[in-house]
Amino acid sequence: MAPRFESHDMEDTVENVNLFFNYGLPLLLLVVAYLIGSFIEKRHFASIREREDDLHGFPVVSFDTMPDDWKVSSSDMVTGSIVISLDYFKRVIAGLRGLIGGRIKTYEPLLERARREALLRMSESARKQGYDAVFNVRLETSRLANAARDGKGTAGVEMLAFGTAVKFASRFG
Amino acid sequence: MKFIPKKPREGINVSDVHPLAEASTLIVGLIAIFIAIVLLLIFIIEVALYFVPARTEAELFADWMPEDLMTVSPGDERLYQTQLLVDRLASHWAEAPYKFRVEVDDSELANAMALPGGLIIVTQGLLDEVESENELAFVLGHELGHFRNRDHLRALGRGIVISLFFAVITGNDVAGLGIKATDIALRGFSREQESKADEFGLAVVQAEYGHVHQASRLFERWDDADDNTRAFITYLSTHPQPGDRVDNLRAVAHRDGWRADGQITPLKWQ
């Protein structure tokens, strides 16, 4: 049935408030999420590149057996892990993408950041402990459920990098 | 084997598309798809209407009533008299497939609407506004016109289909769709549908009283009303502006040579 309002002014006010909550607020949130999200992403990539430059020359390889010429004095497992979450903007755009399918392009840089950050943390930890290289490096990922929507939502993803760090008895023959 | 340090290569796993470009492509594309689907659904409704005769509709919705309707008591005098008036008016539409039912909603806001199965709803607010039977007869005749052109079903069908579509997209449950559909049905008529209904309503009034005097007087009053009063007339949000209507009705009466003067019948409950 027709909505019942006290007067014209009241009707306008209620309408405007409804309009704001239904459309204005999500839109504002979207813009804010995009601005903050892309700022954080840019900063993170800059930090990743800088630290990768710093680690340049530190061998991190995925062989599961050690090359024959590596003469090793000690070894240990090293891990690096990061939990990363998506912003509202990425989530909304991915949701739209989910209606028709295709590459979720807004998630790609997110996972790229996670992979490189996890590898960096692992390598940095290995170097800090005095190791010379990491071999048999593997990446694992797992989704963190969001308790809010009965575990159906995604709070974020964990990216775990792990490998065997080794200390050389003598440097490269 | 020699270890040659290399920097990680970029641009392999990340698409070189700006997120805003991706967003706008998706939004524009999806809106286009959405509009296309809604147009298709409206077309399907038109086709369905063609294949569902009015008689079938009348049977299907014979006892149907919107859930959120707040009716006055069945013994109400005004309800009784309005039903009698509708029956008299409907007798001028000999081949009417509906058995018209009148319900009076207890809203203070003046409005009238045609719903499936020959259900005509008038509000108490409207009954308070009308000053003669001739005025009321035209409003009722107008709603009969909607039944004749089957506008009521068209709008309701659109309402249901569009809210169903929204429910599928947003994943909301389908409960409460009926109410939304009614709401959309209230504002779904086009200008052309309205003026056709107006012409039919005026013809019915002419057939009943032998003249069209004061048929549009209610709208003349509403046209003069200030904004504060107008807020109580939801009729105006779902029907054309009163000034335009009065002019149209005059033109129709003049064209068909209908008398613009004659005996005014008072309301039975006054």
Chain A residues with CB under 8 Å of B67 CB are none
Model pTM score: 0.59
DSSP letter at B113 equals: E
**From A90, A105, A172, residue closest to B15, measured CB to CB:** A105
Q: Cβ of B231 and A99 within 8 Å?
A: no
Task: Tell me the DSSP string of A33-82.
Answer: HHHHHHHHHHHHHHHHHHHHHHTTT--B---SS--TT--EEEEEEEEEEE
What mean pLDDT is reported for chain A?
Answer: 86
- pLDDT value of residue B171: 56
| Percent of chain B whose pLDDT exceeds 90 | 18
Confidence of residue A77 (pLDDT cuts 50, 70, 90): very high
Which residue of B20, B22, B24, B106 to mutate against A (max A Cβ within 10 Å)?
A: B22
Confidence of residue B237 (pLDDT cuts 50, 70, 90): low
Higher-pLDDT residue of B174 and B126 is B126
Instruction: Please give the Cα distance from B152 to B181 (Å, whole number).
Output: 11
- pLDDT value of residue B75: 82
Scan residues 204-233 of B and list those with Cβ closer than 8 Å to A: 227-228, 230-231
pLDDT at B132 > cutoff 80: yes
CB distance from A88 to chain B under 8 Å?
A: no
CB distance from A69 to chain B under 8 Å?
A: yes
pLDDT at B10 > cutoff 60: yes
pLDDT at B179 > cutoff 50: no
Higher-pLDDT residue of B2 and B254 is B254
- pLDDT value of residue B168: 66
ipTM over 0.95: no
pLDDT at B122 > cutoff 70: yes
- pLDDT value of residue A81: 96
Instruction: Please give the Cα distance from B102 to B86 (Å, whole number).
Output: 8
Query: What is the number of CB-based contacts under 8 A between chain A and chain B?
Result: 77
Task: Tell me the DSSP string of B225-253.
Answer: S-HHHHTT-THHHHS--HHHHHHHHHHHH
CB distance from B182 to chain A under 8 Å?
A: yes
Chain A closest CA to B118's CA: distance in Å?
17
Instruction: Identify residue B174 by its one-letter amino acid code.
Output: V
Q: For the residues A43-49, what does the mean pLDDT come to?
A: 95
Chain A residues with CB under 8 Å of B29 CB are 100
**From B1, B69, B105, residue closest to A69, measured CB to CB:** B1
| Percent of chain B whose pLDDT exceeds 70 | 84
**From B14, B169, B230, residue closest to A109, measured CB to CB:** B14
In this structure, of A95-99, B133-137, B173-177, the range with the lowest mean pLDDT score is B173-177
- pLDDT value of residue A4: 44
CB distance from A54 to chain B under 8 Å?
A: no
For residue B221, give every residue at least 6 positions away whose Cβ sits within 8 Å of its Cβ, in sequence order, or none: B129
pLDDT at A49 > cutoff 90: yes
